[in-house]
Structure 1
Amino acid sequence: MPRAIILDRDGTLNVDEKGYTYKLEDFRLYPDVIPALRRLQQKFLLIVISNQSGIAIGRYTQKQAKAFNSKLDRVMKENGVGIAGFYLCPHAPEEQCACRKPNTGLLMQAKLDFKLTLPKSYVIGDSFADVGLAKNAGCAAIYLERGSTIDEKKARERADYAAKDLTDAAQWILKGE
């Protein structure tokens, strides 16, 4: 059964300066993303799981969010990186859905879709919700210290590893292989 690297999108793969990144003209990957994912994809499936509450509050549409994912997917492919799947939660936090991180609904769907071995998989993200998703699903949690998050200290303490960037995260994962 395959193992996966579960990646957050905004603030992990792409720069998220304004809070709700959905405009194609705002698309900008962090410089370390492509090289790190090239290394990781040699041993893991790459899957993106993203909370997109901007849809629920009317900031943008699901179509716009999917167009952003399509651009991300295209840029990845052009650079030799294959994303196996994209999963997004369109709900606001107060809706208390099963798919919004740290809940495991989307990750369980990915597990079914790809027959994943979760205890040998990793979640990488820049928020406490990403760390919570990993813990709730039985995956290893890597907290990316890309910027500030409200619960940064809690995320760092609860994560299995706190990485300064995606290169650092990839090195830590592959060192344990």
Structure 2
Amino acid sequence: MANQDYVSRAPAKKKKNNRNGKKASKNSSAVPLKAKLISLLLIVLIGVFSYGLWSLKTDPSTKTPLIEPVKITKEKKSLNKTDELPKPPKEKWTYVKDLETKEIEVGEYKVEEKGPYKMQCGSFKTQKQAETLKARIAFSGLEAQVQSVSGKNGTWHKVFLGPYPRKRLAEKDKHKLKRNNINYCQIWLWR
């Protein structure tokens, strides 16, 4: 528990008692001058507003509404033209007629197949790791192949699927492998 310094504190002030023995609070019944002015201003404004409404109600000039005279004009209507529709306006544009006679040019093009595709799902230093991935792919319903390739860094065992005639078929199998939690497969051209 922390020690308190009772000597350095100022003594508590005693509250004064009224004659009746009750403690007197500072400004207990006094209302500030600002509050008195605001309440007086509100009373005056409400009185002025009420007087204005009363004077509008009793003023004879506000009893009768203002009515503007309506001018009545007689138009002669011909009996023949009332049953007919007006003529359509003359068109300013010619695109409607141009569309009726326009011929569409159909371009002939040929989609070039880039070649067969393969999807490689992994490349490993050991044959055992490649066979493990091949087995996981087989459990997803696809058949993978393992190819051993010698290079500058030694022998690598690549696990791939394919060949696919179109890239869309390879992407379909790639999504199937992703659903079976086999990620990081890449689609390349067959070389």
Q: TM-score interval w.r.t. the shorter chain?
A: under 0.3
Q: TM-score, normalised by structure 2?
A: 0.22
Higher RCO (Cα < 8 Å, 6 or more apart): 1
- Rg (Cα) greater in structure: 2
**Structure with the higher fraction of residues in helix conformation:** 1
Q: What TM-score do you get using the length of structure 1 for normalisation?
A: 0.23
